[in-house]
Amino acid sequence: MTTFADPSPLLGDEYETLGALLQAAAREFPDQEALVLGDRRLTYRGWHEAAMRLGAELVARGFEPGQIGLIYLDSTIEYAIAFAAVQAAGGIATGVNLRLANRYVGAIAERAKPAVVFAHVGHEVPFDEALVLRCDPGSMAAKGPGLPALVERRADDIATIIWTSGTTGLPKGAAMDHANLRAATRTSGPLAAPFGRKINSTPFAHAGFTGKIWEQIAFGMTLVINTPPWTAHKMLQLLVDEHITIGAGVPAQWAKLVELPELASADLSALQVGITATAPAPPELVERVTTALGIPLIVRYSMTECPSMTGTRPGDDAEVLFNTVGRPQRGVEIELVEEDLRPVAAGEIGRIRVRAAQVMRGYWDDPEQTALVLSEDGWLLTSDLARLRPDGNLVIAGRVSDMYIRGGYNVYPIEVERVLSDHPQVRTAAVIGRPAPVIGEIGVAFVEPADPADPPSLAELRAWVASQLADYKAPDELVIVDALPLNLVMKVDKLALRDMLATAEVIAFR
């Protein structure tokens, strides 16, 4: 294994708040591009100045330190300005994905109680119009007096609230203070570099932007915005035209990118490293991307409540890169525990606990949920299951809620999904458990075939899984789908799969 030195940020830990950090960036590298959206370019000086002008407007409207500014905008330059303006005015910035259903948006608004809502001009919003501040490129670029100074805040003041994707119920708000955001930068590793150029892959309301915004500014990086709707063609065009050095994508995006015939002739000479996170990446996909692009595809394990936890590294052996989510990052402690929080035996699957300076302060206005996952000594109990290998690398085994018990045996769907995805007739697959008489629960495989005209049979898939795992892990039922449903952050939506069972054509094992 080759060892690679990690780059150092251009701006250090001496800055207490995100607003102070952006102000320093505007002073130290004013003309460096911060954000790119199509033909629009915003420098760090332009970002800071626009934030100070909008911050002055917020204060004039009566916005007070510690109040919440809710950003109901697309992933745009306006979003980034609004986020920074709330920081400049001493507030707490939180974003809501525009694709989120109104009932979820309403639940977030009820919990957040925003003092202002940023929304696009002409966009209908499910908020009291008196709270809404309309934003468009023209108004953001308008000249006007800015705040004379940043509203003073401390490192332990809440800076942002990041809402979970709501895959198991209503979204919960992970509250991060400025120190949390700063700490996440210490785990950047090879995925940040001074004046690097990075493409965004997830909505700005997601932790991929919000949890890494300090990192972007501290390294003076340029974030190139991939406008919705996402397509592989657009991603490839941006990688080439914008000379991207750090590629980012969820597994589904990388899978679609490497299927493009034009990838073979594309000039990706600037690209140095790729990252995939958010959802589990099948080993064969990591290998395929690494081979096709000629760069290491780094796999990161993180979550909304802790934006940085483990990761592989350039120079890791191929087997580690393709089959694990790497080792704990700098300053991160990982434990695997039983339900009673006792450590599991070496090599056994357990629930992940993490302790690090970037762990959230708690769920916003939700002390009961906070107490369930966050201990007094700083340990965050996740809903993820994993196994720690002797070499210190972590292998994700799925989620507590996904595991099902078939005839007394635990089955972890992610393990079965990886094997199914390796079948030559399978493009991608997802597995859920459902109740069944006598045996307790059985596995249902939803399969997107590689060739819709030639889907695999249930018998073929059962034999394939049984030959590599165990016969009780083989799926008992099969549903062939045109495409797996994805949620807002492009994870497979397993709640939607359960809903599909009521009307789907199910092939059952006899």
Secondary structure class of 18 (helix, strand, coil): helix
Say how far apart CA 214 and CA 195 lie, in whole Å: 14
Q: Which residues of the chain register pLDDT less than 70?
A: 1-5, 138-139, 141-142, 166-169, 510
What pLDDT is attached to residue 167?
59
Does the predicted TM-score (pTM) go above 0.75?
A: yes
According to DSSP, the β-strands at 440-449 and 426-436 are: antiparallel
Specify the CATH number of the domain 402-508: 3.30.300.30
∠ CA(357), CA(363), CA(367), 5° rounding?
115
Residue matched to tokens 């797996």? 484
Say how far apart CA 100 and CA 481 lie, in whole Å: 24
Question: CA 193, 199, 201, 206 torsion: positive or negative?
Answer: positive
What pLDDT is attached to residue 382?
96
What pLDDT is attached to residue 33?
99
What pLDDT is attached to residue 322?
86
What pLDDT is attached to residue 142?
65
Check: CB of residue 253 under 8 Å from CB of residue 201.
yes
Residue matched to tokens 């590793």? 189
What pLDDT is attached to residue 5?
65
What pLDDT is attached to residue 166?
64
What pLDDT is attached to residue 39?
94
Say how far apart CA 26 and CA 28 lie, in whole Å: 6
Pick the CATH number of 18-388 from 2.30.30.230, 3.40.50.12780, 2.70.70.10, 3.30.360.10: 3.40.50.12780
Say how far apart CA 227 and CA 75 lie, in whole Å: 7
Q: For all residues of the chain together, what is the average pLDDT?
A: 92
What pLDDT is attached to residue 153?
98
Say how far apart CA 73 and CA 82 lie, in whole Å: 9
* In the chain, ranges of CATH 3.30.300.30 domains: 402-508
For 273, half-sphere exposure in the C-beta direction (CA atoms, 13 angstrom radius) is 20
What pLDDT is attached to residue 3?
47
What pLDDT is attached to residue 100?
85
* In the chain, ranges of CATH 3.40.50.12780 domains: 18-388
Quote the crossing angle between the two packed helices 44-60 and 77-88, to the nearest 10°.
60
Say how far apart CA 199 and CA 221 lie, in whole Å: 10
